[in-house]
């Protein structure tokens, strides 16, 4: 089943419950429906996780967990997918989002040189924040929609494949019984 495939890559629910940043949700994390893998909770969890992965904010896991609780999606998948944007991938992701935002607005792409200082934050970030946020919203929304429908398609494809295997197995058993 698709559950077995997905479970291989997920951490244990206990480790998520004990995570220091997610303890703020308290007893809500003990709802068993947040830990189930089924055809409804997994696609919603993919959408939440992919949406939050492209939101330019720190501690994206917390809003992802809150949304998973609100929409009763699989909390592990929602939180894990947020880590698509990690310290290594953030610069290319946000640069791509910035490019998408400038393309939508119709602005010219600024040559931005990054410098980790307050002066840079005050000057450069103030000139690129609009296309960056717009691009992040567009990329977040598109990736969430693709993740949702992609997971639904994958789940359905896997279930149909399992049905076919069982059907073929039954046919082989029936054939073996008639040959006796």
Neighbours of 61 (CB within 10 A): 21
Tell me the per-residue pLDDT of 70-86, one tens digit each, with 9 for 90 and over. Answer: 898 988 889 899 999 98
Task: Tell me if 6 sits within 8 A of 38, measured CB to CB.
Answer: no
Question: Residue 63: pLDDT band by 50, 70, 90 thresholds?
Answer: very high
pLDDT value at residue 8: 67
Q: How much is the average pLDDT of 27-39? A: 74
Query: Measuring CA to CA, which residue among 86, 82, 75, 81 is closest to residue 25?
Result: 75
Of the candidate ranges 11-20, 87-96, 119-128, the one whose mean pLDDT is the lowest: 11-20
Higher local confidence (pLDDT), 67 or 27? 67
CA distance 25 to 79: 13
Task: Tell me if 10 sits within 8 A of 76, measured CB to CB.
Answer: yes
pLDDT value at residue 43: 92
Of the candidate ranges 17-21, 33-37, 59-63, the one whose mean pLDDT is the lowest: 17-21
Q: How much is the average pLDDT of 85-114? A: 84
Task: Tell me if 131 sits within 8 A of 96, measured CB to CB.
Answer: no
pLDDT at residue 2 greater than cutoff 60: no
pLDDT value at residue 149: 96
Higher local confidence (pLDDT), 9 or 80? 80
pLDDT at residue 153 greater than cutoff 80: yes
């Amino acid at each position: 089943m698709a559950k077995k495939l997905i479970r291989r890559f997920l951490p244990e629910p206990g480790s998520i419950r004990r995570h220091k940043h997610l303890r703020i949700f308290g007893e809500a994390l003990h709802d068993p429906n947040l830990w189930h893998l089924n055809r409804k909770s997994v696609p919603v969890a993919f959408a939440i996780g992919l949406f939050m992965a492209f939101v330019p904010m720190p501690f994206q896991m917390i809003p992802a967990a809150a949304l998973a609780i609100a929409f009763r999606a699989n909390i592990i998948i929602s939180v894990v997918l947020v880590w698509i944007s990690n310290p290594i991938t953030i610069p290319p992701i946000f640069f791509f989002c910035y490019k998408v935002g400038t393309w939508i607005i119709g602005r010219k792409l600024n040559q931005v040189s990054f410098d980790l200082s307050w002066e840079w934050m005050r000057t450069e970030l103030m000139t690129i924040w609009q296309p960056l946020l717009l691009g992040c919203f567009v990329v977040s929304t598109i990736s969430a929609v693709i993740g949702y429908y992609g997971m639904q398609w994958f789940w359905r494809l896997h279930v149909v494949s399992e049905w076919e295997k069982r059907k073929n197995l039954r046919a082989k058993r029936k054939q073996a019984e008639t040959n006796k």
